[in-house]
Amino acid sequence: MFKTIADPADCEVRSVIRFLNAKKVKPAEIHRQLVEIYGENVMTDGMARKWVRQYNNGRINFHDEERSGRPSVVNDGLVAKVNEKIRENRRFTIRMLSDEFPQISKTILHEIVTNRLNYRKLCSRWVRKCLRMSTKRSDLAMLLNFVPDTVKRAMNS
């Protein structure tokens, strides 16, 4: 009996299909041999036949074709506008930002705020993740402006 190979790369399976097709092996037999070596979840019979057809039509590459994908709506201008809105009101919510930018989904806005601008939630305020000591001091000073005087005195003593 043959040893099975678990989790092969797609290009590996396609190169095997190309090799067996060049040896004039029928598509059904190619699929049977793939299942025998790579297991049941390797590729459907229809996909194996599709690759055989493509190789018969002159395809020589067994890697995926480049696809353009969906263009990203996130650009530097949008990130700057979101940052500007955040600086106007640190107690914003993603829903409030969504009202300001209705064309952008809440998920994308949250990604911009947390990943691109490095903000995180701290006591109902969004502050930047501490990158430098000066950033820490300015954000802490801003937070202390809203702390009652009795708490400030207790912190200093």
- pLDDT of 28 reads 95
What does pTM read for this prediction? 0.45
Distance set, CA 39 to CA 2, 32, 43, 99, 157 (Å): 11, 10, 9, 51, 70
- pLDDT of 130 reads 56
Domain ranges of the chain: 10-57, 76-116
Chunked into runs of 10 residues, the chain (157 residues) has average pLDDT values of 80 93 95 91 92 93 77 85 87 87 90 86 66 65 62 60
The matching CATH number, chosen from 2.40.10.340, 3.40.50.300, 2.40.110.10, 1.10.10.1450, for 10-57 is 1.10.10.1450
- pLDDT of 114 reads 87
- pLDDT of 47 reads 93
- pLDDT of 89 reads 84
Q: State the DSSP H helix or E strand holding residue 82, giving kind and residue range, or none if neither.
A: helix 76-88
